[in-house]
Amino acid sequence: MVVGVAGGIAAYKAAELVRLLDKAGATVDVAMTPRAQHFITAMTFQALTRRPVFTDLFSLTDEEKIGHIQLADAADLVVIAPATADLCARLAAGMADDAVTSIALATRAPVLLAPSMNVNMWNHVLTQRNLTTLRDVAKYQIVAPGEGFLACGWTGPGRLAEPAEIVEAAAHVLSAQDLAGVKVVVTAGPTYEAIDPVRFVGNRSSGKMGAAIAAAAQRRGAEVRLIFGPSGVAPPVGVETSHVESAAQLSWALNNAVKDADVVVMTAAVADFRPAKVADQKLKRGAQQTMTIELVANPDLLAGLGKARKGKRPFLVGFAAETNEVIANAKAKLVTKGCDLVVANDVAEVGAGFAVDTNHVQLVDANGVTDVPSASKAEVAHRILDKIVEMRTKPAITPKPKKR
């Protein structure tokens, strides 16, 4: 494969990416833009790959055999990390004026972009337009940048995805598109149930697990629709997302989305109760020392889908966030909610559940329990999808042999 490195501060992370790809057994050829060489040297990549690094489109030695076309033809995948705003713009315009853009334009292999830039460049309408073109027209896959403190001093989205996440995305682009054409609806995040115009009843769900499932399913070829409760997490680039706030809004969006869905993954932590009345005006504290808010039950959306479906479509996946009796509770939910698979996690466990980047889950279906060891939410998302793919191709319960 080819790793293309553009000129941004995150270029130093490309060294770790190349090291991980090499360690995973990939043959990696590195191509660099002239600007990338201001941040990291070709020598670093040559040492890591033990192969020549392609830096100069006009090199008399590299181009003796038209090196960039040879690399473009031989590649099974082109990964561009970091992809700067400038590089995305040049790629979207179909330009081929350096080693990286010329390989990207000449290759017939899939291209995976890992953008990294200043948050305002990332949010700029032109950058977003370029990324839309690259995704929708050129069919490039995009590993969304992470959020956090950026080298430029700003905070927000723009930080290059972790090298391990890019490796994982590369592995999945290379693997079979086993969800190609499958319509997957994912709900994620918490719901907020209004008390008055400024207050609400909510929960600690961050939406990270659901966003990871939506991103992973999209990477595996699914047509994904994400219904996202209020979350600080950015929805995956390119996934059609409906933002909702309350369980009622989620229910409405879900009912619309589910009509032609093949798979529904209910990661959302839907509030079980909502205030019976929503005050029009902000409630005043006054002199009262206690306050009682009457709550009424929200419908169980997953159970509703389980009851309403005819046959096994859509395939229903529920989540069970538990603090005790994890498997017993998950098995009960499998039956009461009429779903095919329950992803159970012990939210009391360190490194699992809400807000963290890792998770440890158990997959409970009618045939038993599969443990998914603790891993990044992106990795866990793929294991959950593996199980969904396996179960959709095999009946859930192995039929007993008929007596003669």
Provide the CA 361 distance to its chain's centre, in angstroms: 17
Backbone angles phi, psi at 384, to 5 degrees: -65, -45
Structure token pair of residue 316: 């229903």
Q: Of 238, 183, 203, whose CA–CA distance to 319 is shortest?
A: 203
DSSP state of 54: B
Q: Are 384 and 370 in contact (CB under 8 A)?
A: no
| Residues making contact with ligand CTP (CB under 6 A) | 247, 266, 268-270, 272, 298, 300-302, 318-321, 333, 337
Cβ neighbours for 365, distance < 8 A, ≥ 6 positions apart: 334, 340, 341, 342, 387, 391, 396
Give the nearer residue to ligand CTP in terms of CB position, either 42 or 266: 266
Give the bridge partners for 115, in sequence order: 83
From the CB of 12, what's the least distance to ligand CTP, in Å?
41
Structure token pair of residue 63: 């181009």
Distances (CA, A) of 193 to 196, 197, 272, 289, 322: 9, 11, 10, 23, 21
Backbone angles phi, psi at 395, to 5 degrees: -65, 150
Give the nearer residue to ligand CTP in terms of CB position, either 134 or 266: 266
Round the CA-based radius of gyration of the chain to a whole number and report it: 24
Query: Where do runs of H (alpha helix) occur along 24-124?
Result: 42-49, 67-74, 85-92, 99-106, 119-123
Cα–Cα distance measured from residue 206 to residue 264, given in angstroms and rounded to the nearest whole number: 19
Cβ neighbours for 360, distance < 8 A, ≥ 6 positions apart: 345, 346, 349, 351, 352, 372, 373, 374, 375, 380
Cα–Cα distance measured from residue 383 to residue 253, given in angstroms and rounded to the nearest whole number: 27
Q: Are 254 and 176 in contact (CB under 8 A)?
A: no
Cα–Cα distance measured from residue 232 to residue 48, given in angstroms and rounded to the nearest whole number: 37
From the CB of 279, what's the least distance to ligand CTP, in Å?
23
From the CB of 302, what's the least distance to ligand CTP, in Å?
3
Catalytic residue among 152, 335, 350, 396: 152
From the CB of 247, what's the least distance to ligand CTP, in Å?
6
From the CB of 335, what's the least distance to ligand CTP, in Å?
12
Give the nearer residue to ligand CTP in terms of CB position, either 44 or 298: 298
Give the nearer residue to ligand CTP in terms of CB position, either 71 or 320: 320
Cα–Cα distance measured from residue 229 to residue 231, given in angstroms and rounded to the nearest whole number: 6
Give the nearer residue to ligand CTP in terms of CB position, either 303 or 375: 303
Q: Quick count: other Cβ atoms within 10 Å of Cβ 395?
A: 11
Q: What amino acid is encoded at 382 in this protein? A: H
Give the nearer residue to ligand CTP in terms of CB position, either 337 or 377: 337
Give the nearer residue to ligand CTP in terms of CB position, either 132 or 329: 329
Give the nearer residue to ligand CTP in terms of CB position, either 37 or 329: 329
Q: Of 294, 221, 305, whose CA–CA distance to 259 is shortest?
A: 305
The answer to whether residue 339 is catalytic is no
From the CB of 307, what's the least distance to ligand CTP, in Å?
12
From the CB of 269, what's the least distance to ligand CTP, in Å?
6
From the CB of 284, what's the least distance to ligand CTP, in Å?
31
| Enzyme catalytic residues | 152
